[in-house]
Amino acid sequence: MTSITKNLPFFIREPAVAIIGQKCYTTLIENLELGDVDCLKYAISKGLGIGIVAGGAVMKVPQLLLITRARSARGLNLTSYILETLAYAINLAYSARNAFPFSTYGENLFLTIQNVAITYLILQYPTPTLTSATTARNPHAHLLPFTAATLLVGLVLLFSPAKMLAILQVSTLPIALFSKLPQIAQNQKARSTGQLSAVAVGAQTLGCLARLFTTATEVDDILVAGSFVLALLLNLVVAAQMVLFWGQGVGSEKARVAEKPFLTTPTPIREKVEIQVPQPLSPRTTSPAPQSGTRRWARKID
């Protein structure tokens, strides 16, 4: 068997060496020594990391499709998504600045981009609490300020010094907490999760669980690990709410739409006008009736 594993083609060998390193490649693949715990954990961590990055590239796509198809962001909290996007961006900048392996944080790049799109869609299809006269007249009124704010945050994170990024990374713990609390409170109040995607929530929960393993194996950074622990707990709460409130709120939303009165132009009430047409006199009544007591004369014609 080792005669095969030691002579694998280059298009298999070179990517594998680039991922797990020459030492672990020789131990695990060429020599098939699966008892090397360190190399085995490292290989599993790399595999999970690559899978998470690949999954992160499409993790929020179901949520985007739900919003665009329904043309509604009902159930999605704007504050939660703004804070969650900020936490993703900070973690991305901190990990890149510290030269962590891309497989340990790469999904944050894709999640940040997707969350920016979802946040804009929440503004594009506002809930009744966000609806205003300006939004009704121009649905793209938020595009310019939203784009400017996004670029400003990106530039600040890009050019911040390492010490500032470390402080910001610590701040991701309360940011993550406050990013989920409004969503959790809104779900509990409405007894519904609205257009929240079960696929996205489930993927986030599993991703946080896997990230704890990859962080402990490859990075060993307490700040990054702490943020994933808190995110895992909060995602578990949201996932539990999705199970509890599954299918609720949809019927009531349709009922509210059905009960909405239609604006119709009132039909003017026409008054009934009666036209009396004088009846013609009967031929028998054309001549006056003979007076009583008068004598009729008749002429006899021979």
Residue 115 has pLDDT above 90, yes or no: yes
The answer, yes or no, to whether residue 76 has pLDDT greater than 50, is yes
> For residue 32, what pLDDT is reported?
87
**Residue 99 DSSP code:** T
pLDDT for 264: 45
> What is the per-residue pLDDT for 135?
45
Instruction: Express each pLDDT in 260-276 by its tens digit.
Output: 444 444 455 555 555 55
Q: List C-alpha distances in Å: 120 to 89, 144, 179.
A: 16, 11, 16
In this predicted structure, the answer to whether residue 132 has a pLDDT above a threshold of 70 is no
Between the CA of residue 261 and those of 69, 240, 256, 267, what are the distances in Å? 25, 36, 10, 17
Q: Over pLDDT 90: what percentage of the chain?
A: 44
> In this predicted structure, what is the pLDDT of residue 176?
85
**How high is the pLDDT of residue 10?**
86
pLDDT at 98: 92
Q: What pLDDT sits at residue 82?
A: 93
According to the model, what pLDDT value does residue 130 have? 46
Confidence of residue 107 (pLDDT cuts 50, 70, 90): very high
Q: Up-side HSE of residue 17: CA atoms within 13 Å toward CB?
A: 12
**pTM attached to this predicted model:** 0.72
**Which residues fall within 8 angstroms of residue 80, CB to CB, at 6 or more apart?**
179, 180, 181, 182, 183
Residue of higher predicted confidence among 18 and 261: 18
pLDDT, residue 238, reads 92
pLDDT tens for each residue of 161-190? 999 999 999 998 899 888 888 889 988 988
Closest CA to 234 of 282, 271, 201: 201
* Whole-number pLDDT of residue 257: 42
Is the sign of the CA dihedral 203, 204, 206, 212 positive or negative? positive
Percent of the chain exceeding pLDDT 70 equals 77
Does 292 have pLDDT greater than 70?
Answer: no
Rounded-to-integer distance, Cα 302 and Cα 294, Å: 26
Span 23-40, average pLDDT: 90
Task: Answer with the residue of higher pLDDT: 163 or 254.
Answer: 163
Distance CA 165, CA 162 (A): 5
Q: Find the mean pLDDT for residues 214-222.
A: 87
Res 258: pLDDT: 47
Q: Which of 201-205, 209-213, 245-249 has the lowest mean pLDDT?
A: 245-249
Instruction: Of 2-6, 15-19, 70-74, give the lowest mean pLDDT range.
Output: 2-6
Per the model's pLDDT, the better-predicted residue between 135 and 60 turns out to be 60
pLDDT band of 283, cuts 50, 70, 90: low
Q: Give the model's confidence band at 300: pLDDT under 50 very low, under 70 low, under 90 confident, else very high.
A: low
Q: What is the largest CA-CA distance in the chain?
A: 158
Round the average pLDDT of the chain to a whole number and report it: 81
The pLDDT assigned to 102 comes to 92
CA distance 166 to 98: 10
- The predicted pLDDT at position 173 comes to 87
